[in-house]
Homo-oligomer: A and B are copies of this chain.
Amino acid sequence: MSTIYQVAKLAGCAVSTVSRVLNDHPNVSAKTKEKVHYAMNQLNYRPNTIAKSLASQRSDCVGVLVSELHSGFFGTLTGAVETQLRAHKKHIIVTAGHGDASLEKDGIEFLIDRNCDALVLHVEAVSDEYLAELCRGKTPVVILNRELPTCPEHCISLDNEQGGFAATQAVIARGHKNIAYISGPMRKHDARERWDGHCKALQQSGIAYDPSLVVEAKFTQDSGAEAFAVLLQRKVNFSAVVCGNDEIACGVMSAARDAGISLPNELSIVGFDNTNIASYTYPKLASVDYPIFEMGQAAGRKILNEVYDINTAEKDSAFEPTFIDRASLQPLN
């Protein structure tokens, strides 16, 4: 691997000049530039990113932290950020927090230590205070799916409660009265907020809240199936199940069919997130659209604008959860 010194020597100039050519500085004469380019080609020179990063304190890299790398939701998010930035020659460094506070911190520090120019975070275990502190730090941060009261300008999120409300409201609008709810882990704020929205919708329609219709699950298919089994054991009466996310809903579908329930006529099911899953199921899953791709793009654009001074000219609209009606939700006959 050749270095900038060798290029300078071959081109017959100083390293500082080569550096200028490298970084498109003005004030380099055309002929010098050409000599340098020639030398670079000759030597097959590729600048050492690490050295550049150390000297310049920049990296042309954005760090992305998500909970899990498998999982379509985060894949979509990461992909959105990546394509957005890649179009401008910026790269991303992805790492996972695994929903654990210390791993999340570890991941964040790793990204900062790698001189990332900015961070995009989808964290769930770390505290608000920690994040607030982080926002005050040197590295610009964009926080997804979380609303920090002290620094709203760093956050891109959507109203989970409103989404939960929309889902249950849609179910009620189709005549359902006995509505079960399978929530995600209540320690996760989004799960809690969605459930809040559900309760609100019930309340608004004057439907009494019945705790025996609610089960807490993990955000996974298997857990959703188990939760549904619990529901059945309770021998409570319900005509629809609203779920904390699509995976849970998918588990419910399987479990319901295993129990001999015919879908969608005997039971309506609604998910949340509107992931690919919703299109894979049969009947297709009604869900609340969580525009994670658009939000990832928005995060990318925000960074391009604010960190790299690249104007993407696109205005970011506010993100609203919208209910997507599909066959898994049927009116109560």
Contact = CB atoms under 8 A, between A and B. Distances in A.
Contacts of A59: 50
B250 A50 contact: no
A48 B57 CA distance: 11
Interface stretch (A78-86, A193-201, A301-309): A78-86
Nearest to A93: B93
A234 interface: no
Contacts of A109: 46
Q: Is the interface of A mostly helix, strand, loop or mixed?
A: helix
A276 B72 CA distance: 10
Contact of A46 (B71, B76, B113): B113
Contact of A75 (B74, B115, B250, B282): B74
A200 to B, nearest CB: 30
A190 to B, nearest CB: 20
Contacts of A47: 113
A68 interface: yes
A119 interface: no
A177 B162 CA distance: 53
A75 B69 contact: yes
18 contacts: A49-B110, A50-B53, A50-B54, A69-B78, A69-B82, A70-B78, A75-B75, A78-B94, A82-B96, A83-B98, A91-B95, A91-B110, A93-B93, A250-B279, A250-B280, A280-B281, A281-B281, A281-B282
Nearest to A278: B280
A114 interface: yes
| Most chain B Cβ neighbours within 10 Å, of A79, A115, A221 | A79
Contacts of A277: 280
Interface in A251-284: 253-254, 257, 276-277, 279-282
Given A50-B50, A69-B82, A277-B280, 7 more contacts: A50-B115, A69-B94, A70-B72, A70-B78, A82-B95, A92-B95, A93-B94
Contacts of A250: 279-280
B82 A49 contact: no
Given A95-B92, A282-B253, A71 B75 contact: yes
A70 to B, nearest CB: 4
A53 B51 CA distance: 9
A82 B74 CA distance: 15
Nearest to A78: B69
